[in-house]
Amino acid sequence: MKRNPAYLVRNRMTWQGANLVQQPGPHNALGQIKFEFHNRYGVYLHDTPARSLFGIADRAQSHGCVRVERPIALAEALLRERPGWLWNDIERAIEAGRTQRIDLPRPMPVVLAYWTVFVDDDASAHFRTDVYKKDGSAIGS
């Protein structure tokens, strides 16, 4: 911000009290849908305007939160029990361009699994880089 005084305006950011907030819309770094859930780490699921990131093998392109490839489909599944929240309703809410918080009718458990190896349908093992350095802590546990 010191090097580029127009940074906040260009990125549609404003100060709200002590918080720097990026305005909702298609250019928001979190995309147009954010899924908050209770956890002690401040981690959440979110959409992304950088759709191309889903096509690369190195998925560690975030800072601890989790990008959702099909956020409207997830929102529709989560809101299935809430009348008035079908696919078109969700899209209309996004197009309105303002932040809306929608509580679920009942809590939904969220489980995040961190896997550095998986076996495909052909029974071939695939190993990925342990970007969070967790594999060593699991040995012997």
Query: Catalytic positions, please?
Result: 46, 65
Angle, helices 87-95 vs 71-78, to 10°: value is 120
- Which residue type is seen at 111? V
DSSP run (H or E) holding 13: strand 13-16
Residues 86, 73: Cα–Cα separation, whole Å = 10
User: Which residues make beta-bridge pairs with 15?
Assistant: 20
Q: Which two tokens stand for residue 33?
A: 């849908």
Closest CA to 77 of 122, 112, 108, 121: 108
